[in-house]
Chain A
Amino acid sequence: MAETQIEVMVNPHLSEDQEFFQSTTKKYLAAHAPISRVRELAQDPLGYDLAAWRQGAELGWFSMLVPEADGGGSVSGNGVVDLTIIAEELGRVLFPGPVVATNVVAAAIARFGTSEQAGRWLPGIVAGETVASWAVAEPDGQWDETGVAMIAQLDAEGIHLSGTKTAVEYGDSVDLLLVTARSSDGVVHLLVPRDAPGVTVVPLESMDLARRFCEVQFTDVVVPPSSLVGNPVDGETELDSLLALATALQCAETLGAMEQTFDFTLEYSKDRRAFGRPIGSFQVIKHHFADMALWLESAAAATAAAAEAVQIGHASLEAVSVAKAYIGDRAVEVVRECLQIHGGIGFTWEHDIHLFLRRVESNRAIFGDPEFHLDRVAEVVGL
């Protein structure tokens, strides 16, 4: 009998410091990253605002999971939760750029890497000078260990990598890739400069206009054994914990996108009139909002629990799969419904709502879709 239950061990609300940090982040983004920038950046060769990236670094966007010795530091001592505050605000404005991916790579180096690796890469990441991305998924593969087919082979020359990774965020411009592959000793994570010989990047078109994804092909790429992050014996556990971190951050980002869409749609329904009254006075519209308000609170609660579980390194990471299974589907329901409430204007290119729809539909699939996470939950609870 599964009497497991996610125990709520902490106060589910933010501290005063965290609230202050949230409002600072919010103010910065409102001034420097309005949603209109997303459309401009979609046409930009880099695809994100490097100046904003650097300023974000000053605000701590890349320091939360990095030890103070390497130039990092968090607001509350609970870096994952602090980072979800940032991710949620970034989701609200659909901030383009591999913020989540760069943090995942930073966490991998900080948690599993050597002090040489930390000294070499982390200060640059924290300062916003080094941008990184995680190459884990493969075409048609799952996001966990079962999807890792790329072989890493060690010989006298170094570690050889051949194969194809996909869904690599900003793979065409980042400085550093964390490549997850399979060796004879287990799953390995390797630091590979993007400009290493044998690395070919194919930019992909994507539903999400506010983000770039690439396929990255590795043709006998050779890296030194010092590129190995962590230990092959623990490689699978490390993969699980990185996927959990990425998923929890993504949940926060998706939550932000849901909240923003809900908020502007609620305002619209109070202003827009039909049949002589605001459309928000019609019961059918009200009832949709009532359901969505519940889903939003639930998504926030699930995200907080997931962040906490990742922070304390909870063994099963059940809370993360619970959160993604829930938010993956609720987010698309909320944004699709909000588009419907807008009516015709919601179907226009000019209106921003499709940018949010594109984001949440993409996030549903990335880092494991709700079905993938439901299957994990089924196993954890003993089905």
Chain B
Amino acid sequence: MSSLNRHAPSTDLLQPGTIGDASATVPEASHLREFREQARLWLSENIAPLGRCEDGTLGGGIPRDPSLEELAHARDLQRKLFDAGYSGISFPIDFGGQGLTIDHERVFLEEARFFEVPTDVFSVSINILGKSLVEYGTYEQCKRYVPKILSGEHIWVQFLSEPSGGSDLAGLLTRATRDGDSYIVNGQKTWSTGASHCDFAICAVRTDWEAPKYKGISVLIVDLHAQGVDIRPIKQIDEGTEFCEEFFTDVIVPVENLIGAENDGWRVTRGLLEIEHEWVGRSGFGTNNNRGVDELMALARRTGKDLDTGYRRQIAALYVASQVHLLTSVRVSGAIACGKMNPGFGSSLKLGSALLQHWRAELGLALAGNSGVMWQEGDELSRSWSQMLLSSRCESIAGGTNEVLRNNIAERALGLPREPSQDRELPFNEVLKR
């Protein structure tokens, strides 16, 4: 028997531990078609279509890294989606969602890609943080926070990496000290996407320094408007500033903001990362601001490289890999949602997405030739290829490097032996002295 459990049956198993969640069921094709038609109609009547770029491809929309004005506009649009039932499609009805499946969500995104929807602005907040709250938060926490996440009123972010380490996440040093009904948080986080316009964070902190590194971590909900939180954007190689670093000085967090039990935060953190990998892998390729295979074909035609067999095959191969990635995402995400596949395979989707985004950007710049590396001022189309190459380098790092993902897949999904570790069982205090 395969260890991958590749062919999962289409039973209507509900995911354990979720409330009124239908996202685990497999929808009938006819229901999906009906939903698609409804979504298409609603979008065309309520949301502006995307414009065309100078090369004839789709463009415009709200960037991943919006200005304050763009953010206000994005919030209005998100509210509209929420009110119409198109935000939180796969979230429980109790928490403001629609209780439908991830297939419904995919169908909506497929239709919405031709419209000015603020998917990129709220994607992390809803699909990683909102989903993690639903999975690991209390009923009260979900009731209080999730509807506002879905409506766009609050934007959430995860605070995991620290300057001292990203891949070795469990070595984190941010300190939360219990003081009556509160924790006092001190320390520093980094690489938090879009944190400067966020309202809340799910933040991993250390609450026990005597315990081994994986056993002294807790996860807190932090109000980013609280006293002592200082968020600073970091300038990236592509000149963007989405990634931020945060400094905490005696930030007071109520004990009720604990997600899971005290010192049980590694389980929550791992779970959040699984949700993140699966979501990023499923959606990252295709819904972000990067230029797609269509744009590469348009570029090849402009440069005459569409007649070159080598380039034709490279573009076709990228198209093939893109299509297969979409099919694989549906298959793997569906099987994970049904509980028929190890969630570790979510890391496979993120790995696949990152590799594709590298490939697409590299091929784009190659097709652009000279005009991809030098251009006249204001020639945004020519500039876009080098931007895409530079931006793409983060895909194999952010949210888990390709190397960490491969370890995850091998150890968690395939059951290969763990990496040897020097510090796994030692009290964390001792580790720090080494």
Contact = CB atoms under 8 A, between A and B. Distances in A.
Given A12-B331, A16-B9, A325-B316, A290 B405 contact: yes
Interface in B38-69: 56-58
Contacts of A134: none
Interface of A: 1-3, 5-6, 8-16, 18-19, 22, 259, 263, 266, 269-270, 277-278, 280-281, 283, 285-287, 289-291, 293-294, 296-298, 300-302, 304-305, 319, 322-323, 325-326, 370-371, 374-375, 377-378, 381-383
Contacts of A377: 316, 319-320
B2 interface: yes
Given A294-B348, A378-B313, A378-B316, A14 B328 contact: no
Nearest to B405: A290
B29 A10 contact: yes
Nearest to B332: A297
B306 A298 contact: no
B324 A1 contact: no
Interface in B353-392: none
23 contacts: A1-B56, A2-B294, A8-B326, A9-B29, A12-B334, A16-B10, A266-B414, A266-B416, A277-B420, A286-B416, A287-B406, A287-B407, A289-B414, A290-B409, A298-B328, A301-B332, A302-B327, A325-B317, A326-B320, A371-B313, A374-B312, A374-B316, A381-B293
Contact of A12 (B330, B348, B408): B330
B350 to A, nearest CB: 10
Nearest to B407: A286
B429 interface: no
B17 interface: no
A280 B328 contact: no
Contact of A1 (B8, B26, B298, B408): B298
Given A13-B10, A294-B348, A301-B324, 7 more contacts: A5-B110, A18-B7, A266-B3, A290-B407, A297-B345, A375-B316, A383-B306
Contacts of B184: none
A18 B57 CA distance: 43
Contacts of A263: 2-3
B268 interface: no
B433 interface: no
Interface in B248-297: 293-294, 297
Contacts of A16: 9-11
Nearest to A85: B7
B332 to A, nearest CB: 6
B4 A296 contact: yes
A45 to B, nearest CB: 35
Contact of B330 (A14, A281, A294, A301): A301
Contacts of B298: 1
Contacts of B2: 259, 263
Contacts of A296: 4, 6
Contacts of A11: 10, 26, 29, 334
A280 B418 CA distance: 9
Contacts of B417: 270, 277-278, 280-281
A278 B415 CA distance: 12
B300 interface: yes
A297 B2 CA distance: 12
B312 A383 contact: yes
B414 to A, nearest CB: 6
Counting from the closest, the 8 A-B pairs by CB-CB distance are A286-B410, A290-B406, A281-B417, A290-B409, A301-B327, A374-B316, A378-B316, A287-B406
B315 interface: yes
Contact of A383 (B6, B297, B406): B297
A291 B319 CA distance: 19
